[in-house]
Chains A and B, each alone.
Chain A
Amino acid sequence: MKHPRKAVLAAGVLAVFCLAAAADVLVVKIQSTQIRAQAQFFAPVVAGLKAGDALTQIGVSGAWIQVRTAAGLSGWIHQSAVEVPRYALAAAAGGTRTQATASEAALAGKGFNKQVEENFRTGHAEADYASVDRMLQNKMLWSQLKEFLDQGKLGGGR
């Protein structure tokens, strides 16, 4: 054989491509979320997730995706909370899924970030960030929202 190293490399690459095709990788793109026991909001929470967490897609039902976490827990997540990692294909070609997650994590802090906001704030005293922070601290609890929907005879994504 003329190129044994190439053969090993190709076999590895092809195997990884096959694995990547068989098991779709997704990452959480929002600050925090949960996977749930059924494909609906207000269903029992199976696990909490944070931005950058990698998931394996195992099924789809409408706007909901059935996923498995790195810890092996499975449940449902709304499609608006996840995305196909931008580096997935490139990292799969490089050999590991871990690289995809690492690259995504590096990317997460890139662009307009806290450092850029802080630099902007130094020259813009007219911008009221204290009120923004107070506004964002008020988190709507799922239980509050469910009670509100029930009391108002509303459906709301259920």
Chain B
Amino acid sequence: MNARSRAARALLLAVLLAAGAACSLIDQGTEILGKAEDAVAKGDKAVKAYGKLRSAFGDFTEEEEYYIGRSVAALILGRYPALNDAALNLYVNKVGNAVALSSERPEIFAGWHFQALDTDEVNAMAAPGGMIFITKGLLKRCPDEESLALILAHEVGHVAARHGLQSIRKANVTETFTSIGLEAIKTYGPEQLARVTAAFEGVLGDIVGTLVERGYDRKLEYEADESAVLFGCRTGYDPAGLARFLKTMVGDMSAVSGKGWFKTHPAPEQRIDRVQAEIDRLQPVPAPAAVRTQRFKSAVSAVR
């Protein structure tokens, strides 16, 4: 082999090696491309299978929570008439919005709304989506703004943690997401509408039954008390307002009726120690202010 042919062979070898490397790169590239195409396909599947991804109470959208809350609120207002006192409702809304601002959900779908109910039954209830009710009977028993703020903060705590949605039975959650289906449509046909509405009724029954009849699990009530103390402190309210209120409820004759708040909440004696322990944990806490007690007395005088 002469020098010329050796050079030709070396050149050929180099070309072959380069081509091999190139092929390897192409193969690697093709592998990456294949994965990329898979990603696109998976993306499409993810869109189509969105409905299948929804399986738990936490999968309700903010807007769905609002529509559930509207109907829960309508059913509550069907049982207990609204107290149409504009000045009182404005004051309750100010106190409620003040503590809601310190919650994990200061911004909620249609804003936080608070409404007094015209009944002597002692109760406070929160519909999903931030629609909160307090009865005239409970307002009468509040000694000061701190107590009212902490009671409303307890209800805000239920909404912020989506406790209402947690009270929907698993079977109704499953039926809801199955009936809604997989396609992203805005308008249902008659058959699907009937099925989705039936699921809606099931969901409302579970929540209203919990709010009005059965009450939340004690664990959730204590969790809402902890939230109340925290939100109250963050806002600047003396959290002892909750303990003060609970103490006034010990031995309250209304408890004999076994209605409303007494039926749906743990006994005040059982809550006081836990609330005090939470307050001790958060020391130092804000102090009461006379200016707040004065405006409280002025605002709730109409129902006293």
Contacts and interface: CB of A to CB of B under 8 A. Distances in A.
Contact of A78 (B107, B115, B180): B107
Interface string B77-96: 11001100000011001100
A61 interface: no
B39 to A, nearest CB: 5
B237 A154 contact: yes
B261 interface: no
A124 B289 CA distance: 46
Contact of A127 (B32, B46, B74, B93): B74
A89 B45 CA distance: 11
B107 A81 contact: yes
Interface in A101-141: 103, 106-117, 119-120, 124, 126-129, 131-132, 134-136, 138-140
A90 interface: yes
Contacts of A78: 106-107
A103 B184 contact: yes
B24 to A, nearest CB: 13
Interface in A31-53: 31, 33, 41, 51
A72 interface: no
A152 B176 CA distance: 45
Given A2-B26, A107-B61, A132-B70, A30 B107 contact: yes
A91 B40 CA distance: 9
Interface string B52-70: 0000000011111001101
Contacts of A29: 61-63, 109
A10 B33 contact: yes
A112 B202 CA distance: 12
B44 A155 contact: no
Contacts of B46: 87, 89-90
Contacts of B61: 29, 107-108, 110-111
B64 A112 contact: yes
A138 B90 contact: yes
B248 interface: no
A156 B102 contact: yes
Contact of A145 (B30, B94, B197): B94
B18 interface: no
Interface in B164-199: 176, 180, 184-188, 193-194, 196-197
B15 interface: no
B35 to A, nearest CB: 8
A2 to B, nearest CB: 6
B46 to A, nearest CB: 4
Interface of A: 1-3, 6-7, 9-10, 13-14, 17, 29-31, 33, 41, 51, 63, 78, 80-81, 83, 86-87, 89-94, 103, 106-117, 119-120, 124, 126-129, 131-132, 134-136, 138-140, 144-145, 148-149, 151-157
> Which 6 pairs show the lowest CB-CB distances between chains A and B?
A93-B43, A90-B43, A127-B74, A6-B33, A154-B236, A81-B107
